[in-house]
């Protein structure tokens, strides 16, 4: 059975600090997605990682993909309060997305 596991599930950090969210998946996939969700809102696409070694950056967020290790990471640099949200990774395969449990990120001033 396919598993997509994120850790940590909860993360409280101070502004200005760096941190990494990890996403492990059990079955090989060509694509790995990262989404952001604010409370009660929709899913906002952050990154699509298409191949082994792919690295994408947008502002203070950087995502990478290691298909051999079946691992993707989302790195936050010098966190700011506006980045507080829940972050999901999603594995694509068999005509669907399979989501991780989500990481609830709280950034404190």
Partner 1 sequence: DSGVTQTPKHLITATGQRVTLRCSPRSGDLSVYWYQQSLDQGLQFLIQYYNGEERAKGNILERFSAQQFPDLHSELNLSSLELGDSALYFCASSVDTAWGNYGYTFGSGTRLTVV
Site residues (vs partner 1, CB under 8 A): 31, 33, 35, 40-45, 48, 88, 90, 92, 94-99, 101-102
**Nearest distance in Å: CB 99, partner 1:** 4
Which residue number, 80 or 97, has a Cβ lying nearer to partner 1? 97
Of 42, 1, 7, 44, nearest in space to 22 by CA = 7
Residue 102 CB-density burial (10 A; 0-12 exposed, 13-18 middle, 19+ buried): middle
- The per-type count for the chain, helices as H runs and strands as E runs, is 0, 11
Which residue number, 79 or 85, has a Cβ lying nearer to partner 1? 85
**Nearest distance in Å: CB 14, partner 1:** 27
Which residue number, 24 or 77, has a Cβ lying nearer to partner 1? 24
């Amino acid at each position: 059975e396919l598993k997509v596991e994120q850790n940590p599930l909860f993360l409280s950090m101070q502004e200005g600090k760096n941190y990494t969210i990890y996403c492990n998946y059990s079955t090989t996939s060509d694509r790995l997605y990262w989404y952001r969700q604010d409370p009660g809102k929709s899913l906002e696409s952050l990154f699509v990682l298409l191949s082994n070694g792919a690295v994408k950056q947008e502002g203070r967020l950087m995502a990478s993909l290691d298909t051999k290790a079946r691992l993707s990471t989302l790195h936050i640099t010098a966190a700011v309060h506006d980045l507080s949200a829940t972050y999901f990774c999603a594995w694509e395969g068999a005509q669907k997305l399979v989501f991780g449990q989500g990481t609830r990120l709280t950034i404190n001033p």
